[in-house]
Structure 1
Amino acid sequence: MPNTLITCATSHIGLSVAENIVVDGKLVLTGRDQDKLNKLCKSLSSKATSVHLDFFDSQSIQQASETIASEGQIDKVVFIIPRIPPKSEVFSTEEELISDHLNFFIKPLQLFRLLFEADAISDSAKIVIVSGLSTKSALSHYATNNTIRSAWLGQAKTMSLALGERRIAVNTLSLGAVMTDSYRARLKQRAVLNGVTPDEQLATEVDNIAMKKYAEVGDVVDAILSLTGPMAKHITGQNILMDGGFFRGY
């Protein structure tokens, strides 16, 4: 029976994917907050297993990989990494660079390594790494995102080439702004600072987006479900940009 793994499942996007994905087998959900995970698992109609996973902790990653592998081979992976905080400094200190790359790339990547070493990913599996707009368009106030998300893009391409013979599809879904609960809250804060209504603030922000809107969480869920389904039978190594037409390059 096909099993599905969703990391950072208690995030708004992860939770929405878990609520909407159709699974015949087990749904394996990971996150740092065990109470939230347990509550989520109980609320779902699908059979779900919660696995504590702190991507900043190597021991937690090792333990989580063993638990996930014990549930049987995974056929679909929705790999959401922790949110990378904005940082505009062009030259971070050595300590900051090491810490950021460890927490947001090197350590999370170890989960993939450990799962493949344990033969926990099935042939013909569909893997979607949920990334961000800076994989395609460099952003001035997101220096850390520019470099780390580019590393994920290179890793996904490498995995797609190495795993293609096993018919494993590896793609990235790079998101622009998404109207999650936390983003709506920040939008309201910016509106207050600018002395306008939230709708007026939103209209100003999306003026340079072709579709004149940000993505809703449901839009992202639909894209993820497509990339873990039949659409990815012959699509791999691709960086799918979901930004409403913000990026203007060819």
Structure 2
Amino acid sequence: MELGLDGKVCVVTAASKGIGYAIAAELLREGAHVVICSRDRERVAQAAAKLEEETGRPVALAIAADVSQPEAIHRLSAEVENRFDRVHALVLNAGGPPSGPFASFSDEAWEQAFQTNLLSAVRLVRAFLPLMRRAGGARIVAIASSSVKEPIPGLVLSNVMRAGVQALMKTLAVELGPEGILVNTLCPGRIATDRLRELDEARAAREGRSREDVQRETEALIPLRRYGAPAEFARVAAFLLSEANTYVTGQTLLIDGGLVKAL
């Protein structure tokens, strides 16, 4: 299938590793001009070098930007505008908040999760919307979590903020659809990233078990009996971000190997 991403300008946040990195790699392979960002300047530079080595294509821009900070988002959009003047695809991604029970989190922890995981999506869309309108239509994909369908124990901060992102995307799909901007939410289940490893290790520590034992137990609940690979997630994202997607908007799609049983 021809995705029509060749020469398109795509912005992927939190792309120095994990799902964001995998999406950036897939978009590069499809010929897109890919802009990546991450909080750490050295880490995003290393990611860009690794992406170029893996795909054989240059990263258009690699920018240090903490999406929880409004001024960083402003700088990011300004650099992209200066280089390209328009944006065809935007991936809203941010690192997950800490795990733990409800009673363990202060107002400050809730505020940080709000800034990083929900308000960042609001600000990114606001900042890039003029550039997407200039492109004459665009695609937005927000990375949330399977918790929007089935809350995950021990991840109360993520559960709440990801549900908010889903609601925002559904609303934007209605508002922006007439302008040819398609908006969807992609929800990873158990995708084998550093973040998932950390969560498995935290659970293993709480329960006095090995991480491998926790993983085996979780995999037994997944119909495909394994964790997903970031590249598997990225291929779905690339379709939704592409011109091949002409009629899918306002949807929440779980990439979870069948783990979530909700209708």
Task: Label 1:212 to 1:182 Cα distance change in 2 as closer, same or farther (>3 A).
Answer: same
Task: Label 1:136 to 1:189 Cα distance change in 2 as closer, same or farther (>3 A).
Answer: closer
Output the aligned Cα RMSD. 2.6
Q: CA deviation at 1:15?
A: 1.8
8 Å CA contact 2:121, 2:165 repeated in 1: no
CA distance in 2, matches of 1:221, 1:184: 19
CA distance in 1, matches of 2:199, 2:106: 28
**Partner AA of 1:19 in structure 2:** A
| Aligned counterpart for 1:54 among listed residues 66, 69, 72 | 66
Instruction: Name the counterpart of 1:171.
Output: 184
8 Å CA contact 1:134, 1:146 repeated in 2: yes
Q: Where do residues 1-250 of structure 1 align in structure 2 (5 Å cutoff)?
A: 1-21=7-27, 22-43=29-50, 44=52, 45-48=56-59, 49-72=61-84, 73-89=86-102, 93-117=106-130, 122-184=135-197, 187=200, 198=212, 200-250=213-263
Q: CA deviation at 1:232?
A: 2.3
8 Å CA contact 1:211, 1:245 repeated in 2: yes
CA distance in 2, matches of 1:229, 1:216: 21
CA distance in 1, matches of 2:204, 2:110: 33
Instruction: List runs of 5+ in structure 1 lacking aligned partners.
Output: none
Task: Label 1:42 to 1:66 Cα distance change in 2 as closer, same or farther (>3 A).
Answer: same
Off by >6 Å, runs of 4+ in structure 1: 188-193
Task: Label 1:103 to 1:217 Cα distance change in 2 as closer, same or farther (>3 A).
Answer: closer
Moved more, 89-98 or 100-109: 89-98
Return the TM-score normalized by structure 2. 0.83
SS at match of 1:74: coil
Q: CA deviation at 1:94?
A: 4.0
CA distance in 1, matches of 2:227, 2:94: 21
Instruction: List runs of 5+ in structure 2 lacking aligned partners.
Output: 1-6
8 Å CA contact 1:55, 1:107 repeated in 2: yes
Deviations 1:154-213 (A, max 9, x none): 110111111111221111111111112453466468668756682x54322222222222
Deviations 1:143-163 (A, max 9, x none): 112211111001101111111
Identity %: 19
SS at match of 1:234: coil
Return the TM-score normalized by structure 1. 0.87
CA distance in 1, matches of 2:93, 2:68: 14
